[in-house]
Structure 1
Amino acid sequence: MGTGERRPVVAILVGGGPAPGINSVIGAATIRSILGGCDVIGIQDGFKWIMTGKKDKVKRLSIEDISRIHFSGGSCLGTARANPTQKPESLDACLDSLDALGVTRLITIGGDDTAFSALKLEQRAQGRLQVVHVPKTIDNDLDLPHGIPTFGFQTARHIGVELVKSLMVDAETTSRWYFVVTMGRKAGHLALGIGKAAGATLTIIPEEFRRKPIRLKTLVDILVAAFIKRLAAGRSDGVAVLAEGLVEFLDQQDLNGLEDVERDQHGHVRLAEVNFGVVLKRAVEGELRTFGVKTTIVEKNIGYELRCADPISFDMEYTRDLGYCAAQFLLEGGNAAMVSIQNGRFIPIPFSDILDPATGRTRVRMVDVESESYVIARRYMIRLSQEDLSHPQDVVRLATAAGMAEDDFRKRFQYLMDKDV
């Protein structure tokens, strides 16, 4: 590069909710970009400011500034759920802001909504801007190949398991139940990952239900049957892990006032606004009273505790690889793709491949309930099964715990065995 020739400018922004490892991506991408002959600026608060034409919410990034940020959680650039795709003028304002800042290369870090915004921005730019997206979400629901996690998921699962382990000890010590609602807007990856690894009593995720919407009564009966099965085994304690994404699929008539719950700029229900654990706790307690069963249920939400945790070593290494590959991809002239690392090799996934033709949105990866991994998870759960209802001696034991006649018990819970539930 000759004297006085302008250095290319790379911008980095973060959208959506926090996830462990964001700073590590920023740090690695900054170092590689600077060593590749570029200047780097960080855009603060995602698309929030640049989509309104503001150009002062930026910071120059240097190697000295970011050389150790990979150890820490959170985002040194902040984050926001601002959605520039709602109006063409917002996308144009983003492009004008980036152009005024001299930016010709953009690295976005975020989940499916941020990926969609990056895709639309690149399309709108018509060649004026190179864009690469780094997939981030503790929900693990971006459409990456099977077995490849989104960054932040492993740290969130690790910390979630530690929390559930403590609650399991407390539950046994005090003879009570916990309903633990975990983050996961649509998919049950985090709930299942935590519940399976911790050995929770049972885990319930949206993917296990073929028929949707899901009725609240079905969830309540699954939990009540687990209580009874546990009592029949001489235990009055348990921990149920529940994916918050179940709310998205519940029949809305079962959740009074759900229509009034606040939604974010992408149209999603703010699931934290629906006190799902309390709804289930009250419904299950009421149902158990009809069986003469007294118990203490404590509802607990976990999610915000996980998002800004310091990344574990897996995510620190993984995110440094992702940040490096994102920067290298741009340096080599790449554009319009999402970063993935498959079998230890960088493989860009074109933006066109992450769109769901049916919805026009980015695909969401759901838990494969036909997989061996899920089947094993179910085998270790304490929940009513067809096998229980097929053995007369087991039915006697369960019906006795519920204070019911055997035939009445079968009739009451047999529908839960239907694969179309």
Structure 2
Amino acid sequence: MKKPETNKSQSRPKRLAVLASGGPAPGINSVISAVTIEAINRGWEVLGVKDGYRGLVDDDMKQLSREDVDWIHFRGGAVLGMSRTSPVQGDNLEKIVATIKRRGIDFLVTIGGDGTAFGASFIAAETGGVLRCAHVPKTIDNDLPLPEGVPSFGYTTACHVGVGMVQNLIIDAQTTRRWHLVTTMGRQAGHLAIGIGKASGAHLTLIPEEFGIDGATVDKFVSIIEGAVIKGRAEGRHWGLAVIGEGLVGALKASELEKLPDAGRDSFGNIRLANVALGTILCDQVTRRLAERGIDVAMREIKLGYELRCADPVPFDIEYTRDLGYGAVRFLADGGTNAIVVVDHKKRTYVPFEHMRDPKTGRPRVRNVDINSENYHVARRYMQRLGRRDFADPQQLARLAAAANTTPEAFKSEFERLVCGEPMDFDGPGEKRELKLN
């Protein structure tokens, strides 16, 4: 007797693919582990895609078991590898869709930034909505448009590791009586710079957000750093450390960028900001200006970035990414698609992909540091930075002028412009607030 035919698509388990794209961030392995375990617990098969979207283009993946992922959650890096392959470049999209159909993939979980998320949405659309996608956002820059107070995973670990490194450099600066200028990652926002600078006790931190939409000049950056060095010397401290975000380059006026050493241009004729050696330029100009005052200061730049991306995640990021990985699978199991997984104060929510782009410009939204927040206000209060009260107090002004080998009048004429328009309570007692107790 002939057995009745069965529908293979109905008899086989659901199949989920997971990939990580872009640059590394601490906690990726924990997401992969959480996604895999939750999917297997639901009776699904899990395919680990190697090297991001390149693995879908080349059909390079492996089936994952619990044994493959049980003990990877506390390790840095990404066991599946990563790449910046674009799913929509050339004929990649066509190849990816063919791989998905050939492999019978029902769900896709992507780990990455806004580009990775939108790549997944293009793939889902190309399959006619058959493929359902969930995205877990990651970046150590913390600049993705998540709800206020919700970090992107990896940021907390990057801060933790960065603070340890900067604290060592502060001791080195104190021991050798020199200044270090530490440049951190953060191409568009200063979260990582201000986080590391504030927690480590750096004497000065500069981020792009404080210079507004009008743009800044190299001269202003140099003067702020020079002022911090002089203020330290007036207090008997002939050493120090400043942290700057690499995004300061993007805060420069276009006319200022044209003056910088040629860093090359992209295919659209724009200056490649990542290639501008701003830290070196600032060190050279600050030491030259101080030398003209008869002050001998050794200052060197140290770049801090790649050392942070593959660090083992701290417990916060491990717990956080467990929640995110579980949330991604739960979202897909409940019939969802094309959304970002967000865990806001232990509550799981989902944000449509479209939220990551500005509807007016079509460009990715960027979450900037709120320079009007108390978090930033406190950071400024603990910096060794010239403030309005330095110029309002005649005795302090005299000390600063003596440290700069000039007169109080000349010092005020040269540096007071740096603090015009700033709140007085950045460097003095703020207004009294009524304390209410419940």
* Length-normalised TM-score, structure 2: 0.89
CA distance in 1, matches of 2:366, 2:173: 34
Tell me by how many angstroms 1:399 deviates.
Answer: 1.3
Q: Deviations over 1:223-274 (max 9, x none)?
A: 00101111111111111011111122333124211234799xxx99473x44
| Corresponding position of 1:215 | 217
Asked whether 1:68 is paired with 2:71, we answer yes
Counterpart of 2:377 in structure 1 is: 375
3-state secondary structure, aligned to 2:54: coil
Give the counterpart letter for 2:68 in structure 1.
Answer: D
Q: Which structure is higher in RCO with an 8 Å CA cutoff and minimum separation 6?
A: 1
Q: Deviation per CA, 1:109-146, whole angstroms, max 9, x where unpaired?
A: 01232223233333444312111110111111111111
**Greater gyration radius:** 2
Relative to structure 2, which stretch is displaced further, 60-69 or 244-253?
Answer: 244-253
Q: Deviations over 1:339-392 (max 9, x none)?
A: 001121110111122221132133111100000110010011011111111222
Write out aligned runs for 1:19-418 (5 A).
Answer: 19-50=25-56, 53-55=57-59, 57-86=60-89, 89-250=91-252, 251-260=256-265, 269=272, 271=274, 273-418=275-420
* Contact map agreement 2:263 2:276 (CA 8 A) in 1: yes
Distance 2:22 2:155 in 1: 14
CA spacing shift, 1:262–1:20, aligned 2, 3 Å: farther
- In structure 1, the gaps of 5 or more residues are none
For the 8 Å contact 2:264–2:271, the answer to whether it is kept is no
SS in 2 for 1:347: strand
CA contact (8 A) 1:248 1:269 kept: no
Q: Is this contact kept in 2: 1:116–1:361, CA < 8 A?
A: no
Contact 2:283 2:299 in 1 (8 A): yes
Amino acid at match of 2:83: A
The offset of 1:283, in angstroms, is 1.5
CA contact (8 A) 1:337 1:349 kept: yes
In 2: Cα distance, 1:120 partner to 1:392 partner: 64
Choose from 2, 6, 12 the match for 2:12: 6
Letter in 2 for 1:388: D
The letter for the 2-side match of 1:208 is E
| Cα contact 1:178–1:297 (8 A) shared by 2 | yes
CA distance in 2, matches of 1:268, 1:355: 24
Task: Tell me the equivalent position of 2:436.
Answer: none
More displaced stretch, 303-312 vs 276-285: 276-285
Q: Relative to 1, partners in 2 of residues 1:85 and 1:412: Cα closer, same or farther, differing over 3 Å? A: farther
* Contact kept? 2:388, 2:420, Cα under 8 Å: no
CA separation in 1, counterparts of 2:327 and 2:318?
A: 14
Distance 2:213 2:387 in 1: 18
- Contact 1:262 1:270 (8 Å CA) reproduced: no
Aligned to 2:433: none
Larger displacement relative to structure 2 (400-409 or 252-261) = 252-261
Query: Alpha-carbon deviation of 1:148?
Result: 0.7
Per-residue deviation, 1:86: 4.9
SS at match of 1:357: coil
- Report the alpha carbon displacement of residue 220 of structure 1 after superposing the two structures with TM: 0.7
Q: Is the 8 A contact 1:10 1:41 kept in 2?
A: yes
* Structure 1 pair 116–217 and aligned structure 2 pair: CA distance change class (3 A): farther
Point out where structure 2 has 5 or more consecutive residues left out of the alignment. 1-5, 423-438
SS of the counterpart of 1:340? Answer: strand
Number of equivalenced pairs? 411
